[in-house]
Each structure stands twice: as C-alpha cells, then as structure tokens.
C-alpha cells in the first residue's frame, strides 16, 4: 500500500505517519527527514538543500524524485510506504506516477489533512523531536508523559529544527499554497483524494485516518 499524506507545514503529517508506521508496518518516508540527514552528513545534496530549506523554499524536483525513487527500491518498502512531504509539486506528482508504474506499485490513497493557516505557526514553533528515536512532540499539544523523557525510548535529549521559526513558516506556507495545493485537484481528478480534519485533536485525526483505511 502506498499512501500520501498531504498538508501544510504543521498539519500533522509526520505525527500521523509515525502512528501508521507503528500500527500497519508501513514505512514512513519523510523527505524532510531525509534532507535533514543529508544536511547533517554534509553530502552534496545536503549542501545544496541547506540554504533552500532555511529560506522555506522547495528543493529541486530532480533531487527529490531521485531520493524517493532510490528509497522505494529498498527492501523495507516492499509492504508499502507512507509518503510524508512528497510530492510537493505537480512535477513531483507526475514523476511519482511514472516511477510507481515502472516499479509495479500503485497509489492507494492521498489523504489531505485540512487545517486553517492560523494554527500552523504555533504548531511548528512548538514542535520538537527525540534526538535518539525521532518521536515527535509539542510544547503544548503533545507532551511526553514524564517531562524531558521520551515516551518511546526513554531518551532525554531533544532537538528543534532550525527552519521551525515564525518567519520561515510564512514562506513555507506560501510554497504550500502556490506549489503543493494544486495537487489536490490533480488527485481529486484521479478519484483517490480523501480528507481528514487536521484541526481536530491528534487522536481524533488518527481515528479519521483509520476509518478511511478500513
Ligand atoms: P507536519 O509533519 O505536517 O509538518 P507534525 O506532525 O510535525 O506536522 O506536527 C507539527 C506539530 O504539531 C508537532 O509538534 C505535533 O506534535 C503537533 N500536532 C500534530 N497534529 C496535531 C493536532 N491535530 N493538534 C495539535 N497539535 C498537533
Ligand atoms: P513540514 O513537516 O513542516 O511540512 P518537511 O520536513 O516536510 O516540513 O520539509 C522541510 C523542508 O524540506 C521544506 O521546507 C523544503 O525545503 C524541503 N522539502 C521536503 N520535502 C520536499 C519536497 N518533496 N520537495 C521539495 N522540497 C522539500
Ligand atoms: Zn525517543
């Protein structure tokens, strides 16, 4: 099963993708995480991507489709994958269609996480992640049971993304509305677009996604 989670920065894609991964044995493919790993390793792609990401703009379609295509070929994706943050442009969506055909895979559903822009700055600026296992948290909306200790792995070190600032969110939102939102009619036309209320509480969003998948 190949699923796409589509939504603005802070809509909850990563949060729900982690839950789907744990529950359904699908692999979460977050292009943002892959790019951040490339930046941290200082690879050629990472060097190119860093300044683009810090400006809140989009990394080139060629780089992104190359990364996803190579990743889908790895054996852990054979049961399926959740695409979190890809595709983000029409060119990426078209490239994904042809690569899936080539790899004999099919796209089962595209789930739009609908949110109002007003909530996204607070979501993004309050976001942090366990440095050890990558579990995501929020200062107000998703705290670990014990403050400062990761629920999943017991880790006590957390990181925040350098692009999770109020200013960058504005450019990222603009990129979302200009370049990514056009994918909604694209997938609606294919009859595979579904929607959940991204404004609802995290557990409720999970329930809505599970209901769609059943
Ligand atoms: P995305 O991957 O779409 O950018 P995340 O899943 O990282 O978004 O969510 C952004 C932040 O908002 C995280 O800190 C997360 O804990 C929190 N969050 C996610 N979904 C919700 C929700 N439905 N209500 C409130 N906070 C949420
Ligand atoms: P968010 O979770 O807030 O939506 P991501 O972690 O998905 O953000 O992406 C962070 C940054 O990485 C983006 O602002 C963009 O610069 C880059 N990026 C991630 N995925 C893509 C993509 N598919 N195409 C172009 N740029 C991307
Ligand atoms: Zn952890």
Ligand 2 and 52: CB distance under 6 A:
yes
- Tell me, in angstroms, the distance from the centre of ligand 3 to residue 40's CA: 19
Which residue's CA is minimally distant from atom 3 of ligand 2?
9
Look up 71 and say whether it is catalytic: no
How big is the chain by its Cα radius of gyration, in Å?
Answer: 16
Cβ proximity of 183 and 90 under 8 Å: yes
Q: Residue 79's pLDDT is what?
A: 84
Q: How far apart are CA 103 and CA 75, in angstroms?
A: 13
Q: How far apart are CA 36 and CA 53, in angstroms?
A: 9
Q: How far apart are CA 164 and CA 9, in angstroms?
A: 9
Q: How far apart are CA 172 and CA 57, in angstroms?
A: 6
The encoded tokens of residue 116 equal: 């109002």
Which ligand is closest in space to the CA of residue 68?
2
Backbone region of residue 42 per phi and psi (left: phi > 0; alpha: psi in -120 to 50; beta: other values): left
Residues of the chain with pLDDT below 70 are none
Which residue's CA is minimally distant from atom 19 of ligand 1?
12
- Tell me, in angstroms, the distance from the centre of ligand 3 to residue 152's CA: 5
Look up 172 and say whether it is catalytic: yes
Which ligand is closest in space to the CA of residue 156?
3
Q: Residue 133's pLDDT is what?
A: 95
Ligand 2 and 20: CB distance under 6 A:
no
Cβ proximity of 122 and 139 under 8 Å: no
Q: What residues have CB less than 8 Å from 95, skipping those under 6 apart?
A: 61, 65, 87
């Amino acid at each position: 099963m190949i699923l796409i989670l589509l939504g603005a920065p802070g809509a909850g894609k990563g949060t729900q993708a982690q839950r789907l991964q744990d529950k359904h044995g699908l692999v979460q493919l977050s292009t943002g995480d892959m790019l951040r790993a490339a930046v941290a390793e200082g690879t050629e792609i990472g060097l190119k991507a860093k300044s683009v990401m810090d400006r809140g703009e989009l990394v080139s379609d060629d780089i992104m489709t190359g990364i996803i295509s190579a990743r889908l070929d790895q054996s852990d994706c054979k049961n399926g994958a959740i695409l979190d943050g890809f595709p983000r442009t029409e060119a990426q969506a078209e490239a994904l269609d042809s690569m899936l055909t080539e790899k004999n895979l099919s796209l089962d559903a595209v789930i739009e996480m609908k949110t109002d822009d007003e909530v996204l700055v607070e979501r993004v600026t309050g976001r942090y992640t366990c440095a050890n296992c990558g579990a995501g948290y929020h200062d107000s909306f998703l705290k670990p049971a014990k403050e400062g200790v990761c629920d999943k792995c017991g880790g006590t070190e957390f990181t925040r993304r350098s692009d999770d600032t109020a200013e960058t969110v504005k450019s990222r939102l603009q990129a979302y509305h200009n370049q990514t939102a056009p994918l909604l009619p694209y997938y609606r036309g294919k009859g595979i677009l579904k929607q959940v209320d991204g404004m609802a509480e995290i557990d409720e969003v999970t329930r809505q996604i599970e209901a769609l998948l059943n």
